[in-house]
Structure 1
Amino acid sequence: MRSFADLDRLIAQVPGPVVTALGTVDVGRGSEALYRDQLPGLLRQLADRARVASITASSAIEGVVVPDNARADRILAGKVTQLRTRSEQELAGYRDAQDYLFQGSWRPLNSGLLLHLHKMLFAHTAAPGGRFKTEDNLVVDRSSSGEVTVGFRPVRASDTPFYVSELIDRYLREMSAQRHHPVLLVGLFALDLLVIHPFEDGNGRVTRALTNALLMDAGYTVSRYVSLEQLIAETADTYYQALLDSTHGWHEDRADPWPWLSYFVNVLATAYRTFAQRAASDRSDGSKQDRVREYVLNHAPAVFRMADVRTALPGVSDPTIRVVLDRLRREGIIHPEGLGRSAAWRRSSR
């Protein structure tokens, strides 16, 4: 709510680097329809991989990790009925929440939606989900030595329903007014929701999942094809520092939103650049088999898996990758290690 209290004063003057990044975002948005028409197969592959990356990365940011990659893949595919650990349960919950949002039937944005997402997040656990916090909470930082410092103080539990409702109302009003860039408004919504910290647990995951949905609702759908959560996980220290820098003075209406907004817009711009690079790679004149060979010989780790090739070359099908790997094996350039899902390939020393 605080960030929307005097929006004209707060974000009327957009810093130059943010203007540049927003330009990249808007150009990328304008290209999405072209890619949907010309590269539907590539987009389906990118969407499948981004879904997995988003669920696992957003969960990992909060320490929710399933070490067995093959089992994690089965959980995300809905093929595991007995979830063994709390991490597996929460991974399945985030899967359900994100899939619900990506199906596009989540509107309208209201407090009930946030409670529903939180309930889905913890539906497979014994923890209570679907309710706002009942006790005041703190966001703390723990150093490697175990020292605990207070990062910021969220709003009081008793005030949470009001603050959430007021934030949503003001956000929707500003989006309808169309006086400010929608990406900045989505970023401010995420910032305020994280500062309100409406739940005892799961605040980051609910906010990140909802951010994707709000961006798509505003016409910025790149998160379907490039995982914003993965980009955040790869820059986690910067992510937390930007949030912290923009919370100072929030309760007194004197916080500076630009550290967070600059980070947020740059993550989105990076996603659009990545999307364009992958689309351009798929449309290149070179043979897809040549591209696989080039990657294996010159760019892949000394020991690599099929998944590494898929990630590097999203427009290339698994059968094409296997043809090239088999040919390189017969040439003695690579040799297999292991079997099944754990199988890997190692380049031979020459």
Structure 2
Amino acid sequence: IHTNYEYIPFQSNYILQLHRDLLKYTEHSYGGKYKTTPNEIDAVLPNGEKIMLFKPLDPYETPEAIESICHSYQIALEEEFVDPLILIPCVILDFLCVHPFSDGNGRMSRLLTLLLLYKNDYVIGKYISIEKEIADTKESYYQALSLSDDRWRIAENDPKPFIKYMLGIILKCYREFEKRLTISEKSGAKSTAYDIVKNFALDTIGTFTKRDVMESCPSLGSSSVELALKKLVEDKTIKRIGKGRASKYVRFDAY
């Protein structure tokens, strides 16, 4: 999707092929095939309890429903009666309500979100992980989905909660990208890894990890970040908290 989105149309046969490739290296034999038994959308509560959120369409209804979603999307796009940023969450909501596969529906929905955003010139997913942002707000995701799929079967549902949630995720990704660009601009094109990491550290309130640095300074490799952090600890710009993978860092002037 990252490299060939222009050549991947939003069609049912391509959706099946993406699902096939998604499960290619698993033990599952149903990759690239619609569900053959009924399924449901569940959520796991913080206490471990599993609850059913929604009962999707039955297997015999699924192929036609996916065809209808793809066809309706193309018509809406061509007639331009709704902005793509509003249309895409509606398409993904319908896909999730159909729940066409025995496994991988959530992952497929995020891949299709990425694909449709790319095809409409919103390529933020190349730089910031949309899937990670959704994973980090899973509780809000399930809540929005639950509010928006109510009465979906009789076409009386309200998609606004899910639309607002997805727009919030996209906006958050763009803001994170802007933040990373700002760090790069402050560092300057000829800055060393030490300078770049130092700028990040001085611009950060509270603790941060090596991973945080790497995500915010994508031009740097793991070893460069590690060496820079070590030097910053030595010159007392930052203080190290903990050891090994659990290590965190904080500005020295915070103590």
Alignment-derived partner of residue 28 in structure 1: none
* 3-state SS in 1 of match to 2:68: helix
Q: What does 1:272-283 correspond to in 2, within 5 Å?
A: 272-283=174-185
Q: 2:218 aligns with which of 291, 308, 314?
A: 314
CA RMSD after TM alignment: 3.1
- Determine the structure 2 residue equivalent to 1:238: 140
Which of 77, 89, 105 does residue 203 from structure 1 map onto? 105
In the TM superposition, residue 313 of structure 1 has moved relative to its aligned partner by 3.1
Question: Offset at 1:103?
Answer: 1.7
Contact 1:300 1:308 in 2 (8 A): no
Match of 2:88 in 1: 186
Match of 2:35 in 1: 133
1:108 pairs with 2:9: yes
Task: Go from structure 1 to structure 2 and tell me whether the alpha carbon gap of 1:172 and 1:300 turns closer, same or farther (over 3 Å shift).
Answer: same
**Equivalent position of 2:20 in the other structure:** 119
> 2:221 & 2:69 partners in 1: Cα distance?
45
Tell me by how many angstroms 1:320 deviates. 5.7
Instruction: Find runs of 4+ consecutive structure 1 residues off by over 6 angstroms.
Output: 300-303, 335-339, 345-350
Q: How does 1:52-71 map to 2 (within 5 A)?
A: none
Aligned-pair identity in percent equals 28
Which of the residues 292, 302, 322 maps onto 2:197? 292
Quickly say closer, same or farther: Cα 1:317–1:202, change in 2 above 3 A: closer
Matched position secondary structure for 2:70:
helix
Structure 2 residue identity aligned to 1:245:
L
- Structure 1 partner of 2:166: 264
Which structure is richer in relative contact order (CA contacts within 8 A, separation 6 or more)?
1
Q: Deviations over 1:89-139 (max 9, x none)?
A: xxxxxxxxxxxx112154222111111111111111221111000111122
2:34–2:101: 8 Å Cα contact kept in structure 1?
yes
Figure out how many residues of one structure are paired with residues of the other and give that number: 247
Q: 1:239 to 1:297 in 2, by over 3 A?
A: same
The residue identity in structure 1 corresponding to 2:14 is L
Q: TM-score, normalised by structure 1?
A: 0.62
Q: TM-score scaled by structure 2?
A: 0.83
Q: Distance in 2 between matches of 1:296 and 1:199?
A: 45
Q: 1:347 to 1:137 in 2, by over 3 A?
A: closer
Within 1, Cα distance between the matches of 2:38 and 2:50? 17
The residue aligned with 1:87 is none
